[in-house]
Amino acid sequence: MLDGLDPEQREVATALRGPVCVLAGAGTGKTRAITHRIAYGVRAGILQPSSVLAVTFTNRAAGEMRGRLRQLGAAGVQARTFHSAALRQLQYFWPKAIGGSLPRLVDRKIQLVADAAAACRIRLERGELRDVTAEIEWSKVTQTVPADYALAAAKAGREAPRDPAEIAQLYAAYEDLKRGRSVIDFEDVLLLTVAVLQDRHDVAEQVRAQYQHFVVDEYQDVSPLQQRLLELWLGDRDDLCVVGDASQTIYSFTGATPDHLLDFRSRHPGATVVKLVRDYRSTPQVVHLANGLLSQASGRAADHRLELVSQRPAGPEPVYTEYADEPAEAEGAARRIRELVDAGVPAAEIAVLFRTNSQSETYEQALADAGVPYQLRGAERFFDRPEVRKAVSSLRAAARFGGNDSLLDDVVDLPSQVRAVLSGEGWTTQPPAGSGAVRERWESLAALVGLAQDFAAAAAGATLSDLVTELDERAGAQHAPTVQGVTLASLHSAKGLEWDVVFLVGVAEGMMPITYAKTDEQIEEERRLLYVGVTRARERLHLSWALARSPGGRASRRPSRFLKGLRPGSGAATGRTAAGGPGGVERGVGSGGAVAAAVPRRTQRTPARCRVCGRTLTDAGELKLMRCEDCPSDMDEGVYERLREWRALQAERSGQPAFCVFTDKTLMAIAESVPEGERELARIPGVGARKLNRYGADVLAICAGQDGVGLDDDD
């Protein structure tokens, strides 16, 4: 179990008792370390497989962990997501703790939110519907009830997509609708499990008797609700191993926080802390850029960053390319990808990563024009595809009645059986020419063939029935195999994945960092997001940006500030040494010892104060104005009235209430500051990226004193 582990990974694998914190940089083999840790404990007789619960954040990661544990001889260990583990417990204990059957779980809450909006007579655009749904999810994972939403959002510095009072109203109506229809959502699964474990000590003791040892991966991403559930699972015990990297915290908008990871030693003074910094994924050139990005970071996560040390041979330097416009950037990336594929690089080992999903369409078209197959991560689920469902049905039938199938007469090994069955579904040894639906179907079947080969290699003697069981488990967990095509993905959805070649596109101001990232904390999370993108690359890394959005447009864009001092010709880097220090092990010294004393305390957020009288502000409307309601206003009355007239016209045209364009408070804030440019306008609460793009030009023209703004010739 310990052969092939480096010294720090071996420390992880052998630290089987007491609290353990693993600070693991990108590409340092954390999954290998923790799966070997569990398997070592099982093989040594220290851990019973059924008493171990390993939790992570994605079905794919949980599926990968289960597969590795099975190969290491530790089958029987539960490896699940937080939601999956909680749902399993809730289904089991509901009849005993509550009575009756568990309410139906809704897969997607957005339709319920739309129904709640209709009940409140509030009209939401598609983008607003998605944003309000996200606000409800954030509220629930931070354990915020509707009545407290406005204050909680203000304290957290969230930029609400609608007036906070409206969101609170929608949130309350959404909860009422769920109760009326006897359904629950994914956040309810955690909330209800927490409630049952808190209220029913007999149930809590039964769960704790089942699970004595816990491993939590990606611990920097836990929400307050998930942390509470973990504490209830643990009780008064401390057999806990957490693994994470504060520099990869990129989901704070969902309620995730690295504080639980960073405060681990203060909560567990006797903890063993192991730092993994040997990077086995990326070349020294890629690692150098990744370290350089974080060396310029600030904030608490940056104070605990890890300096990675590449363990791979040297590779090519990252390539930086500037394009005239976005279509040219997409065509340039597609052209280079075509050259790589022609040179023998598998398409599945190439990824194009972007900041927002809206950027994907341009690259889909460019790759299709170049004749390069691609897959869009986050699109239709693999096991929901019609050709995959039909193929699995054929494999299931062959497993049951294969003796009567002439296709299987001359084949013995599992991969050959799968190829024979899927040949009847359209799979061939050579892919069809071009792209489109025929190619996509072939790619899906080829992925099943590849999965069968991997499964047979990992499980000697595996039968077709064993493979069908594996496919059913993967379908339940949505653990899809690799499809042969270039991956198009947002930076957020690329977390946990890696490729030989990565194209980071749109690395320009306004996109990286994104326009609506205004506070220091938001800017630093954007930097960490780019860091995650960089560390997805094993060998080759291409970074690019466009000076204009469309051909012939004004070339006003600039490369991202995050690249300053790192790309050639952008000045000298001004970084700092990693405070996290080199890899190694720190032993806990017991309660009140030196290690606990050395952990920095969490700094408090500076309260917002009235710019007139200096009083602390908590009301959402006052926070928007940055002054008390009754303090004197320096608003330009003329600008305010013209903004109101313009807003009324926009509302009439769109057929929605005036406050859906901008609330009164936002108009007042604009009239008080009278912004001269987009950057100043974007800083005003209530002016998000969508409204800036839609209304920014009109608002700035009004502020500049121009007449006739917002009127067409026909008007």
697 is in an annotated binding site: no
- d(C-alpha 268, C-alpha 214), whole Å: 15
List, in order, residues 6 or more apart from 350 with CB less than 8 Å away.
337, 340, 341, 486, 487, 499, 500, 501, 502, 503
403 is in an annotated binding site: no
Quick one: how far is CA 119 from the chain centroid?
32
246 is in an annotated binding site: no
Beta strands in 96-212 (DSSP E): 104-105, 183-184
Alpha helices in 344-463 (DSSP H): 360-369, 386-401, 414-423, 437-458
26 is in an annotated binding site: yes
Sign (positive or negative) of CA dihedral 22, 26, 29, 31: positive
- d(C-alpha 483, C-alpha 451), whole Å: 10
Unique residue bearing structure tokens 């703004």: 709
418 neighbors 445 (Cβ within 8 angstroms): no
Rg (CA), the chain: 27
Task: Give 590-658 as a DSSP string.
Answer: -TT-HHHHHSPPPPPPPPPB-TTT-PBP-SHHHHHHTS-TTS-----HHHHHHHHHHHHHHHHHHTS-G
- d(C-alpha 36, C-alpha 379), whole Å: 33
Q: Are strands 584-586 and 486-490 parallel, antiparallel or unpaired?
A: unpaired
Unique residue bearing structure tokens 């008007």: 715
Instruction: Return left, alpha or beta for 235; rule: phi > 0 is left, psi -120 to 50 is alpha, else beta.
Output: left
155 is in an annotated binding site: no
- d(C-alpha 74, C-alpha 14), whole Å: 16
332 is in an annotated binding site: no
556 neighbors 511 (Cβ within 8 angstroms): no
- d(C-alpha 30, C-alpha 700), whole Å: 50
248 neighbors 533 (Cβ within 8 angstroms): no
- d(C-alpha 560, C-alpha 137), whole Å: 31
- d(C-alpha 46, C-alpha 42), whole Å: 6
Unique residue bearing structure tokens 């289904």: 91
Amino acid at 582: P
3-class SS of residue 344: coil
Phi, psi for 74 (deg, rounded to 5): -120, 40
244 is in an annotated binding site: no
- d(C-alpha 216, C-alpha 585), whole Å: 19
434 is in an annotated binding site: no
- d(C-alpha 607, C-alpha 626), whole Å: 11
The Cα-based distances of 202 to 93, 191, 194, 206 in angstroms read: 11, 18, 14, 6
Task: Give 43-78 as a DSSP string.
Answer: HTTSS-GGGEEEEES-HHHHHHHHHHHHHTT-TT-E
List, in order, residues 6 or more apart from 181 with CB less than 8 Å away.
none
378 neighbors 489 (Cβ within 8 angstroms): yes
**Encoding tokens for residue 380?**
């239709």
The Cα-based distances of 286 to 215, 248, 384, 560 in angstroms read: 30, 16, 36, 18
Q: Which residues are annotated as a binding site?
A: 24-31
Q: Which residues are annotated as a binding site for ATP?
A: 24-31
